[in-house]
Amino acid sequence: MSVMFTASTSVGARAVMGSARGVEGCGGRVIVGPGSLGRRRARGALVIRAAVRPYTVRKGDTLDTIASKRKMSVSEVRKYNKKLGDGSALAPGTTILLPAEKLSSRDQAIIDGIDKINEPRIYPTRAGETIEDIIAPRKISKADVERLNPGVKLGALKAGVKLKLPPGKYTVREKEMLQGCGILPAETLNPLAVLGTPLALKTLGAVVAVGAYAMYFAACRRYQTHGTKLWGNDLPEMDDD
């Protein structure tokens, strides 16, 4: 059975996995993945509806600005976030929930620039934005942008210039929005990355320490029981006389 994810009952994100892999984003556009059959929907598909998506508050965000950019009222935002305080100020880094189909104009522009997940996307530049502002947070090399945009003067970008960017290169905010809409799959956990975390290193150190102590204790017991070397053969020594 195919599995279809939708962000709402109307124009939510639909990521169809299995025989059909077309993705209809929050903005209503069909975004095609590898092996996609476009708008074709498999019969008997299981539809899982997710009405909300996460949004991480940035510096300068307030409930008013978040709501107005998405044509919502503050009371609507509060309806999805019962634990918010009375004020409109929010601490940067706080994660709130928003209706998946409610997008800012910038969110919509990002979605509109994606045609196929594994192909270059169109990025509309903003006023005052430099090429460094674009490539640094997305970890893109300038050479890649130059290759995709021959003839474009990257040193003097104007607002509204449509640049091609390599596939799969997004800012943290863009990735969060696209994953929340179902356009990008949620990231899987890399076990090698987990091993390098401070908690994992502390746990490994504790395990090594406990293991070393257990070996020392066993060696001491062995010496007390057999009266022989701590390590080696338990058999009594041979007397050659």
Name the residue ranges covered by the structural domains of the chain.
52-99, 120-166
Query: What average pLDDT is seen over the chain?
Result: 77
Give residue 205's pLDDT.
85
Q: How confident is the model at residue 149 (pLDDT cuts 50, 70, 90)?
A: very high
Query: Is the predicted pLDDT of residue 25 greater than 60, yes or no?
Result: no
* Residue of higher predicted confidence among 192 and 175: 175
* Residue of higher predicted confidence among 166 and 184: 166
State both tokens at 146. 């130059």
Q: How confident is the model at residue 204 (pLDDT cuts 50, 70, 90)?
A: confident
Give residue 169's pLDDT.
95
Give residue 140's pLDDT.
97
Residue type, position 132, single letter: E
CA dihedral 7, 28, 90, 73 (to 10 degrees): -100
Structural fold of domain 120-166: Membrane-bound Lytic Murein Transglycosylase D; Chain A (3.10.350)
| Residue 239 to residues 221, 236, Cα–Cα distance (Å) | 25, 9
Judged on CB neighbours under 10 Å (0-12, 13-18, 19+), 140 is middle
Q: What angle do CA 75, 78, 83 make, to 5 degrees?
A: 150
DSSP-assigned letters across all residues of 69-114:
HTT--HHHHHHH-TT--SSSB--TT-EEEEETT---HHHHHHHHT-
Range with top average pLDDT, 108-112, 180-184, 185-189, 195-199? 108-112
Domain 52-99 in CATH: superfamily? Answer: LysM domain (3.10.350.10)
Q: What angle do CA 19, 166, 95 make, to 5 degrees?
A: 80
Q: What phi and psi values does residue 123 have, to the nearest 5 degrees? A: -120, 120
Q: Answer yes or no: pTM beyond 0.85.
A: no
* Residue of higher predicted confidence among 217 and 28: 217
Range with top average pLDDT, 28-32, 34-38, 84-88, 144-148? 144-148
Query: Is the predicted pLDDT of residue 156 greater than 70, yes or no?
Result: yes
Give residue 83's pLDDT.
87
Q: Which of 28-42, 119-133, 213-227 has the lowest mean pLDDT?
A: 28-42
Give residue 31's pLDDT.
57
Residue 71, Cβ neighbours under 10 Å: how many?
11
Q: How confident is the model at residue 11 (pLDDT cuts 50, 70, 90)?
A: very low
Query: Is the predicted pLDDT of residue 128 greater than 70, yes or no?
Result: yes
Q: What is the pLDDT of residues 38-82, one digit of tens each?
A: 333 444 444 444 588 999 999 999 999 999 999 999 999 999 999
> What's 149's DSSP letter?
S
- The domains spanning 52-99 and 120-166 adopt the same CATH topology: yes
Judged on CB neighbours under 10 Å (0-12, 13-18, 19+), 118 is exposed
* Residue of higher predicted confidence among 163 and 6: 163
Query: Is the predicted pLDDT of residue 23 greater than 90, yes or no?
Result: no
